[in-house]
Amino acid sequence: MDQTTDVKTRRKGIYLLPNLFTTGTLFGGFFAIVQAMKGNFEAASAGILAAMIADGLDGRIARLTHTQSDFGKEYDSLCDMVAFGVATAVVMYAFSLHYLSEYRWLGGKLGWALAFLFTACAALRLARFNVLTAIAGSDKDFFGLPSPSAAATVAFFVWAADTWGFSGETLIIPSAVITIACALLMVSNVRYNSFKQVKLSRRGPFLYMVLFIGMFTLVLIDPPRVLFVVFFAYTLSGPALALWARYQRRSSAAA
């Protein structure tokens, strides 16, 4: 076997690596759906968390191994849609939104209508992200709440509520509000920090390492509550910063 043939074979094998992690995202979403149907919401939320971790790794691995491809990008979007759109909506519907069928609004279909709203907005968010990335490349900010963050806010709300022992029936209003808010924020023009300017390979103050270890410890102590608070705060950060910027512009104009 000559050297050229060996290189082609090796490259073909390397391309499997990032797509295996992308498949992990798909499996996490599928696992979450199955567990939500069984009423095991802790495992379902853990499936969404696993999907997020796999989704965060596949792109980095592809860049590190120089195995980016158009196939990988399309496959990643499809798997993200399943995990962060369909699966997350099913988890929230199975936990709480299905109780809205007892109310006759929209003929008792309000629950699954809200779940579908979240799914549709996730699809639109992913499509817009792909288009903007192709046109403008990567940017330091996201336009609209990223679908993994929206999925995390919803799924970890379910996880925290289930851990606290709350029934989805008693949390119909908060569940509906969080679902609608995350759905609309995904398709909004609100800017969210992507943290792409943070380079883990660079040197930084020792305090950053201490803070990272502290946060990691808190997550280990109480994963559902800490993760929900973190992603809920990130979800609120976009509108809060937008309102603050608007206030500053008005103050400058008045001055």
| 112-144 pLDDT, tens digit each | 999 999 999 999 999 998 887 766 555 567 888
Q: Which of 11-25, 79-93, 98-112 has the highest mean pLDDT?
A: 79-93
Higher pLDDT, 35 or 15: 35
pLDDT of residue 150: 96
Residue 233 in tokens: 């705060």
- The gap between the terminal CA atoms of the chain, to the nearest Å, is 76
Q: 81-95, 197-211, 215-229: lowest mean pLDDT where?
A: 197-211
Instruction: Write out pLDDT tens, residues 26-71.
Output: 999 999 999 999 999 999 999 999 999 999 888 888 878 777 887 8
Residue with tokens 């798909």: 26
Please state, in angstroms and rounded to a whole number, the distance separating the CA atoms of residues 36 and 25.
Answer: 17
pLDDT of residue 3: 46
**Alpha carbon separation from 136 to 30, 121, 129, 131 (Å, rounded):** 32, 22, 10, 9
Where do the domains of the chain lie? 3-254
- Please give the torsion angle defined by the CA atoms of residues 27, 33, 37 and 43, in that order, rounded to the nearest 10 degrees: 70
Collapsing DSSP to helix, strand or coil, 58 comes out as: helix
Q: The whole model's pTM is what?
A: 0.85
Taking a C-beta distance cutoff of 8 angstroms, is the pair 81, 89 a contact? no
Task: Give residue 86's pLDDT band: very low, low, confident or very high (50, 70, 90).
Answer: very high
Please state, in angstroms and rounded to a whole number, the distance separating the CA atoms of residues 34 and 142.
Answer: 31
Q: Return mean pLDDT, the chain.
A: 85
Please state, in angstroms and rounded to a whole number, the distance separating the CA atoms of residues 33 and 39.
Answer: 10
Find the radius of gyration of the CA atoms of the chain.
20
Query: Which of these CATH numbers, 1.20.120.1760, 2.40.110.10, 2.40.30.10, 3.40.1260.10, describes 3-254?
Result: 1.20.120.1760
Q: In whole angstroms, what separates CA 188 from the centre of its chain?
A: 15
Task: Give residue 196's pLDDT band: very low, low, confident or very high (50, 70, 90).
Answer: low
pLDDT of residue 13: 44
pLDDT of residue 6: 45
